[in-house]
Structure 1
Amino acid sequence: MGDAAIWIAVLIGGFGTFMWRALGVAVETRVQEDSPLFNWIGCVAYAMVAGLMARVLLMPGGDLSLQPLTWRAMAFLIALAVWYRSGKSVPIGLVAGVISYALILYFQGL
């Protein structure tokens, strides 16, 4: 693949990203926070995160697949508990999961 093809792919990807952002800015004043559409979008976002977490937990790829499911499940449960106790803050739950998994690996000697 030549340099021109790479730049074309980057430009197309950037256009797709910014197109959706511009559309979001254009319609953000028309969407009420308590509307069914906004609630549906929130539900879809949570479902996507849950699906990704289930995939990483149950069918991981790469080096993560070399570790036992119990270790991944322990880190997930810790992250879930921290997420719930923190007022359902996704970044805090994510950091808790990463740190707990790193500690599990560290104490296992990996």
Structure 2
Amino acid sequence: MQKDILDKHPDSDLKVYVVWFDMLAADSRSRWDQCAVSDPRATNLWDKDRVASRTLGPAVEGASPPVWDAYLLYGPDAKWADGPPSPVGTGSTIYGTRQQLEKDILPFLGNND
């Protein structure tokens, strides 16, 4: 994500929320690298109770709960109302769908990139 999207478009007005939780045996908050996605446009969050996975996961087409290693892309006008807004793009795994993510994100990069 950082190398394939953020580093390629340093002047874009993207906001990235990276949500981490324990999924694999080696995952834990004490071992979590909060700078894994170090771009200043990224906010890294630890989700101990996997709330983001339960709340946003159903929108990721083809993913099974618990949803992890996935992306949900929202446009600049997305608003949270009674529930989460509909994403304009989703994919899982992030690495496996990185080309689709880049395609989905292109309309939001503006004229700077």
Q: Same fold (TM over 0.5)?
A: no
Of Structure 1 and Structure 2, the greater helix share is in: 1
Which entry has the higher C-alpha Rg, 1 or 2?
1
Q: TM-score, normalised by structure 1?
A: 0.24
Of Structure 1 and Structure 2, the greater strand share is in: 2
Q: TM-score, normalised by structure 2?
A: 0.23
